[in-house]
Structure 1
Amino acid sequence: MKAAGMGVELLAARTKTIDPTGEGLSSSYVGFIVGGGKTARETCSDRAAQLIAAALGQEIGTFFEDAVFTLDKSPSTRRTETRLSSSALPDRLIDQAELSRFLRKSMSWIDAQIQEAKDRGELWPGLHYVGRSRRFDPVAVLEGQRLQRSA
């Protein structure tokens, strides 16, 4: 922002001029993303990242890191097997609070995703019921998210 001679307000205004919808980002949201204080965020939406990078005339990868987990083939077995290459994935079922922290999404976002899948007559990928408790398979959840993005 300093190299482009922009502050938060000017950057927010610039996102409105380049956004095809004309909506852009609010100055408070931009402040959350670029700030470093208590209210600063480490993540933002893909749309926000694209608008900020475009407003600064840079590639998105200059400022933002894509949180994508790639599947690769396991060389340790004869049969074809896929595994996530990230060691950050737990190899067990996790509860909703742990999934929320892992995905960096709110628990209400997860609830909404489960409800949307239920409304479509589907079970949200990776969701398991253990008694009345929800448990999640993190590998299946990420694969379901990847498929949803590619659709």
Structure 2
Amino acid sequence: MRRLDKGAPLRAAMRAAGLDIPSLAAATKNVDPEGEGLSRSLVGFIAGGGKTAREECSDRAADLIAAALGKEVEDLFEAPVFTLRESTSTRRTKTSKPSKSELPEQLMDQAELAKFLRKSRSWIDKQIQEAKARGEVWPGLIYVGSSRRFNPREVLDAMRQQRTAA
């Protein structure tokens, strides 16, 4: 789900309910059938207005926040619009899943890679430093002159291998 108007309706509903981020996080535990609720940090990312705020969250998080505030989900969030990856022409009926070949062919700078991976630039810096401490080069890292460039295919392959090894 994507929050409406950069979270302004969400923050207004919080003010109207007299809740701050920690109390909203606690309220999500009361409405969660599993009794877990959401963490303070996740609620802060979703409800926040600063540069660390997230525009998107899971359906579950949106449902719990709306229920805790006594609002309809549609009052605070919107479902993202999906576009078709292929033509709707009746001349072609071929359908396919997104594949590795749909990844960008060009090298990315650190900002582009961070956006592509949905990670922060500091996370990428930390991964590079940890690899350097092990005497390795972080997969996908290429120095072009004095600037860093990244091959997104190699980065994703390394992340997948790391996930399966853990």
TM-score after normalising by structure 2: 0.49
**Pairwise CA RMSD:** 4.0
Aligned equivalents of 2:157, 2:55: Cα separation in 1: 23
Question: Could you say which structure has the higher helix fraction?
Answer: 2
Q: Is the 8 A contact 1:95 1:136 kept in 2?
A: yes
Instruction: Map Cα deviations across residues 26-72 of structure 1 (whole Å, 9 max, x no partner).
Output: 1x63153367x67641456xxxx6x959x79xxxxxxxxxxxxxxxx
Q: Residue 88 of structure 2 aligns with which residue?
A: none
Instruction: Map Cα deviations across residues 55-94 of structure 1 (whole Å, 9 max, x no partner).
Output: 79xxxxxxxxxxxxxxxxxxxxxxxxxx6054xx220112
Q: Residue 65 of structure 1 aligns with which residue?
A: none
What is the aligned counterpart of 2:128 among 103, 107, 114? Answer: 114
Fraction of identical pairs, as percent: 58
Gaps of 5+ in 1: 1-6, 57-82
TM-score after normalising by structure 1: 0.53
Q: Residue 100 of structure 2 aligns with which residue?
A: 84
The residue identity in structure 2 corresponding to 1:99 is L
Gaps of 5+ in 2: 1-18, 30-34, 66-98
Q: Which runs of 4+ in 1 moved over 4 A?
A: 7-11, 37-40
Q: After the TM superposition, which residues 16-27 of structure 1 pair with which residues of structure 2 at under 5 Å, given as runs? A: 18=36, 25-26=39-40
Q: Is the 8 A contact 1:127 1:134 kept in 2?
A: yes
